[in-house]
Structure 1
Amino acid sequence: MPTGAIPAMKLMTRHSTIVLSTALVAVLAAADVVAAVRQPAKVTFLRDVAPVLLRRCSGCHGRRVSRGGYRLHVFSELMRAGESGEASVVAGKPGASELFRRLLEKDPEARMPRQDDPLSAAEIEAIRKWIAGGAVFDGKDPDKPLRSQLPPRQHPMSPVAYPVPVPVFALAFSPDGRQLAVSGYHEVTVWNPADGRLIRRLGRRPQRIHSLDWTADGGSLLVGGGTPGEYGELALVDGQSGRVRHLYGTFDDVVLGAAISKDGKRVAAGSAGRETRAWPVDEIKPAWSSRVHSDWVTGVVFSGDGRFVVSASRDQTVKVHDAATGGLFTTYNGHRKQLGKFTGRFAVYAVGFDETAGRVLSVGAGKAIRIWDPVLAKSENGTAADMEGRFFKAGHTRFIAHGFGKTTFGLDAAAGHAWAGGADGLVREFSVKSLKTVRSYEGLADWVYSVAASLKGDLVAAAGYSGEVVVWSRADGRVVARFLSAPGLKPAGR
């Protein structure tokens, strides 16, 4: 599932060699004197300083961009000098620290963030106190991204009544088919799919929810989401009260996919920060973490036997990890196909597993859903010695020509069937065995981001950009319920 466009952030540039004004030097000297005699209030780096620097500065001084030869997305990099050679942070001396001095510059071309609003007085004071107090790092690893080490956020309540609709990025039927969990703004809403009635609201969740998965007993929900470009989070919450049972951890970008293994013993998640992780369901320490993708991890699923964690990505690959260790079992390159009917290089936005067929299903851009087996995919990858011979083999992958004219974002699979929908607003059901279309579901006119099916309830649901959720009967394709997933907001014209 996609996150949508992430607005470009206007953030700090840094460390070009500019002479500070005499007045500013005096202010900084005074700051050091005051710091020496004043006992600063307790300020911690991860809680008070890092969020400010990441929000306002990392766009120009982060992993991908390093203006002035300076990065601050990792603590060890933050403490190093940029191209100017000036010490970025001098513990105990804010006035001698280039990072702090640039925040106070009067010249708008020298002040940071450059060509943007200055930091607030409170933010500047927090940075001053942190440096004056010794510039202590309170994280676990100075060489790992700061975003992944930030403490969990205290999320606000969602609005009592929504002023406008919000896109729906995730849907999930409860195991008995009687409840439909829907992503909202800082919440998960739970609805009766038979009549579109709101049952409950599970609040204080991340700003955007991109993944939902129920436990087998229907008692808990695995919720993955965050704020694009800033923060990701994975939590297991009580399906009735919304109480957090396990907060598995934070990510350096929004969580786009998450899943629970069939036996309920493991959970896994992938983020826009290119990371995939897995945990024992009752532990908050990850069993493993992997960064083998070169772009967003857009979807995650367990194989039916729990042996593999399968992760899809915009990098046009699907990676198969050993579920216990995280080791890379194989890479599926079927979305980079060069020969045959369905050729091209396509981003992958959704992945599922059909236990009846014992196969992975993956889809994104392009004209077909790929159906494939991890073990066979590994054998077909072979070695460098047989590369030429493998290049001309068709391989074991089977293709469902879905007929969509645009990118497919939503996918579900079960009992030998697959359901998919995408940017042209269409939703269809397919037979994994015959590769044929079983039924088309009509009623949505905007981008579809999520599709879910319930075998127990004999229902199919889909939603997307418009915020409207449509539920259909699998038996005949008729609309069972239609509702706007924005509590308190009445649809126009109704």
Structure 2
Amino acid sequence: MLRPLLFLFLTASAFAAEISFSRQIAPVLIDQCVECHRGGKAKGSYRLDTVELMFKAGDSKAVPVVAGKPDESELYRLMATTEEDDRMPKKADALPEKEMKLIRDWIASGARLDVADKKASLSSIVPEKEKAQAPEKYPRPLPVTALALNPAADTLACSGYLEVTLWDAATGRLKARLGGMPERILALAWMREDQLAVAGGVPGRAGEVWLVNPAKPTERRRLVSARDCVLAMAASPDGKLLACGGADNQLRCFELPSGKLKWQSEPHADWIMGMAFSPDSQHIATGSRDRTAKRIDALTGEIEATFTQHTCAVLSVAFSPDSNDVISGDVEGEIRRWDREGEGKKDTTMRPGGRTEVLALGFLDPSTPVTALGNGAVVSVDVKTRRAKDKITRHEDRANVLLIQRSGETTRLISGCHDGRVRVSEMGKAEPVLQFMASPGW
């Protein structure tokens, strides 16, 4: 009888010792704990967003993880307690029994770490899950939710399903497909020929930001692994910074080309829906579902001004060419202009399309805003009459995204529609100079 019992004991011990921190424990902590225990928002001064900090006590001074002793480990004790006022995570259901046992067994087996860099963030050490493949041919056109033009202005990156598609900017011919990307791609930024940023995720489940070399797609790096979608992203004109935000209310700023996190903050109480860098690369503007827009110092993440005069969700933002003012557009069709202090400019409330969403914003010149609207129109705005000035093009569905391309005396607007169509319009010409369906197989 002794030998079978000894065999079972040794087998159980070996099983517990094989628990992988990066593959099994870190994903649970990211999903259940990191949101309330990270830089800038560490409840009880205890942080779980890096491997090193996870082992350091917070205000309670209780040791979070005591190798071999789960019942003396504060991290496990607060997860396992039946006292609802003490139990973690707060204001949420208790961890499933399977996850609780996994954490207990990991600590009991010695709390081993299969991590090379203990200063690394938890999100960066979790191995990438194998993604599903994009369809060879799309069964129907996919809405265009993001566009980016490369520095040479000859290739257009477009959102796809689990991929980014690359198109010849002159002919609309498909050039390449970059697979292994987020399921939904909601923002793109092309900083250098060898560096394209891709943001998106799965609503309510995951958010991602990747840096990828379009010429060598295997050269890629994941910058963000979040609990919810990344909805907005912008790169600084000088190519040194990349900022992103989304449905987890987080604003993150990375140094380029390294991809190192520079700072992270939570400037809004709800989703970050729109984002823009100032032309001088010193400031970031954000728009949120919390009905505010903000001006933020790009170097520090400090809030410089808050605009509070919208009465509904703010979807889009853009800086004036001199970097002084910001225009912000909302879900009910209103565009407001405001200054460095967050004060609205007098008599500058614009309604170029009636009560339809202002989905994208920019400037054709210092005195002429341009916008893409929920009714499909892409129009310039007369700031004196505060109405639409010139109709540049009209899509059959929502005009989700807008790029402005300047080359010498020529200005082109590239717009992406919910029906899957991309149009390139040239100022002064009545018809688009190029249009194509940005879905492989169509």
> Do Structure 1 and Structure 2 share a fold, with TM-score over 0.5?
yes
The alpha-carbon deviation at position 43 of structure 1 amounts to 2.8
Correspondent of 2:263 among 288, 293, 296: 288
Q: In structure 2, what is the equivalent of residue 413 of structure 1?
A: 363
Q: Which amino acid aligns with 1:172?
A: A
Q: How does 1:227-266 map to 2 (within 5 A)?
A: 227-244=202-219, 247-266=222-241
Matched, 1:174 2:140: no
Q: Which amino acid aligns with 1:180?
A: L
Correspondent of 1:206 among 161, 182, 189: 182
Correspondent of 1:466 among 419, 429, 432: 419
- SS of 1:363's partner is strand
Matched, 1:372 2:338: yes
CA distance change for structure 1 residues 251 and 280 in 2, over 3 Å: closer, same or farther? same
- SS of 1:398's partner is coil
Contact kept, 8 Å, 2:279 with 2:323, in 1: the verdict is no
Contact kept, 8 Å, 2:124 with 2:223, in 1: the verdict is no
Correspondent of 2:318 among 352, 355, 367: 352
The alpha-carbon deviation at position 250 of structure 1 amounts to 2.6
Question: After alignment, is 33-42 or 357-366 more displaced?
Answer: 33-42
Q: Which amino acid aligns with 2:312?
A: F
- SS of 1:242's partner is strand
- SS of 1:47's partner is helix
Whole-Å separation in 2 of the counterparts to 1:435 and 1:177: 32
- SS of 2:23's partner is helix
Contact kept, 8 Å, 1:312 with 1:351, in 2: the verdict is yes
Correspondent of 1:303 among 278, 286, 289: 278
Whole-Å separation in 1 of the counterparts to 2:189 and 2:363: 14
Whole-Å separation in 2 of the counterparts to 1:449 and 1:194: 21
Matched, 1:275 2:250: yes
Whole-Å separation in 1 of the counterparts to 2:76 and 2:390: 55
CA distance change for structure 1 residues 226 and 367 in 2, over 3 Å: closer, same or farther? closer
Whole-Å separation in 1 of the counterparts to 2:10 and 2:223: 42
CA distance change for structure 1 residues 314 and 80 in 2, over 3 Å: closer, same or farther? same
Whole-Å separation in 1 of the counterparts to 2:152 and 2:385: 28
Contact kept, 8 Å, 1:78 with 1:88, in 2: the verdict is no
Any idea what the Cα deviations from partners look like across 1:152-171, whole Å, max 9, x if unmatched?
Answer: 55544422222333222111
CA distance change for structure 1 residues 220 and 430 in 2, over 3 Å: closer, same or farther? farther
CA distance change for structure 1 residues 135 and 351 in 2, over 3 Å: closer, same or farther? same
Q: In structure 1, what is the equivalent of residue 301 of structure 2?
A: 326
Any idea what the Cα deviations from partners look like across 1:79-130, whole Å, max 9, x if unmatched?
Answer: 52467459999xxxxxxxx956x45xxxxxxxxxxxxxxxxxxx99977964
Matched, 1:453 2:383: no
CA distance change for structure 1 residues 135 and 321 in 2, over 3 Å: closer, same or farther? same
Contact kept, 8 Å, 2:155 with 2:169, in 1: the verdict is yes
The alpha-carbon deviation at position 183 of structure 1 amounts to 0.8
Contact kept, 8 Å, 2:337 with 2:345, in 1: the verdict is no
Compare relative contact order (CA 8 Å, sep 6+) and give the higher one, 1 or 2. Answer: 1
Contact kept, 8 Å, 2:204 with 2:229, in 1: the verdict is yes
Q: In structure 1, what is the equivalent of residue 391 of structure 2?
A: 440
Matched, 1:317 2:292: yes
Contact kept, 8 Å, 1:225 with 1:234, in 2: the verdict is yes
- SS of 2:280's partner is coil
Give 5+ residue unaligned stretches, structure 1: 1-28, 64-72, 90-97, 104-122, 336-344, 381-393
Correspondent of 1:80 among 49, 57, 78: 78
Whole-Å separation in 2 of the counterparts to 1:48 and 1:182: 34
Q: Give the structure with the higher percent strand.
A: 2
Contact kept, 8 Å, 1:185 with 1:208, in 2: the verdict is yes
Whole-Å separation in 2 of the counterparts to 1:303 and 1:265: 13
Correspondent of 2:349 among 399, 418, 442: 399
Correspondent of 1:190 among 166, 169, 173: 166
The alpha-carbon deviation at position 199 of structure 1 amounts to 1.9
Q: Which amino acid aligns with 2:18?
A: K
The alpha-carbon deviation at position 351 of structure 1 amounts to 1.3
Matched, 1:477 2:430: yes
Identity %: 31
Give 5+ residue unaligned stretches, structure 2: 37-47, 55-63, 65-74, 89-93
CA distance change for structure 1 residues 448 and 150 in 2, over 3 Å: closer, same or farther? farther
Calculate the TM-score normalised by the size of structure 1.
0.67
Q: How does 1:41-190 map to 2 (within 5 A)?
A: 42-49=18-25, 51=27, 80-81=78-79, 84-85=82-83, 102=97, 130=106, 133=109, 150=126, 152-190=128-166
Q: In structure 2, what is the equivalent of residue 22 of structure 1?
A: none
Q: In structure 1, what is the equivalent of residue 373 of structure 2?
A: 422
The alpha-carbon deviation at position 34 of structure 1 amounts to 7.2
- SS of 1:399's partner is coil
The alpha-carbon deviation at position 54 of structure 1 amounts to 7.5
Question: After alignment, is 352-361 or 324-333 more displaced?
Answer: 352-361
